[in-house]
A and B are shown apart, each in its own frame.
Chain A
């Protein structure tokens, strides 16, 4: 089945650090990938849609200069949390759907637990 790999699984760093999270589709190509954020005991909130070869589409209230997304190839999207602060601490998850499919489930990575001290 379709596999999405997300790395790293956990990051602990000081306030002001920039953190890069990678999302890879291992056995399929994904023109579009999605980045979610989950706060404790809350739902998965879509942050942005990452589009290969073009700019990401951000959801309302998500700062594009804070959360930089790059989708340089059909199998890799990266999310960089710039100058992270404690309020950015959260669980970040990416997902992808094989290119050319519709009404198919998204496949999720295992998430990245980001803790900013």
Chain B
């Protein structure tokens, strides 16, 4: 039962360009969405989040967009840097953190 889907397993982008990572969800009860970044052999690191009352949240080079009607969110990284190369997980929860569901992840490679 994949309630959170990241359909692109990988993405390759040139340094300085925009990286767009996509995520879809099926559970309309989700009201809190997060993006995590993960390096090999490490736990995920929180990157940015958005609540369902908003459609955009920006933090430096990272912006998350939420389209509730389409049950879709995306993470934009601009400009992309080689250090951004990692696996990015989309996550969603309903009402609180007790039932957070993760997508399968997208491996981002930023080429110098």
A103 in contact with B32 given A43-B104, A49-B98 (CB within 8 Å): yes
| Docked-complex contact A108 and B102, CB < 8 angstroms | no
**A interface residue count range (under 10 / 10 to 19 / 20 to 34 / 35 or more):** 20 to 34
B100 at the interface (CB under 8 A from A): yes
CB distance from A69 to the nearest CB of B (A): 15
Nearest chain-B residue to A109 (Cβ)? Answer: B43
Please count how many residues in chain B sit with their CB below 8 Å of the partner chain's CB atoms. 28
What 13 additional pairs, Cβ within 8 angstroms, besides A9-B41, A102-B97, A111-B43? A34-B100, A41-B9, A41-B105, A43-B4, A43-B103, A49-B98, A93-B43, A95-B43, A102-B95, A102-B96, A103-B32, A111-B42, A113-B41
Q: Report B's interface with A, CB cutoff 8 A.
A: 2, 4, 9, 31-32, 34, 36, 41-46, 49, 51, 89, 93, 95-105
Q: Report A's interface with B, CB cutoff 8 A.
A: 4, 6, 9, 32, 34, 36, 41-46, 49, 93, 95, 97, 102-111, 113
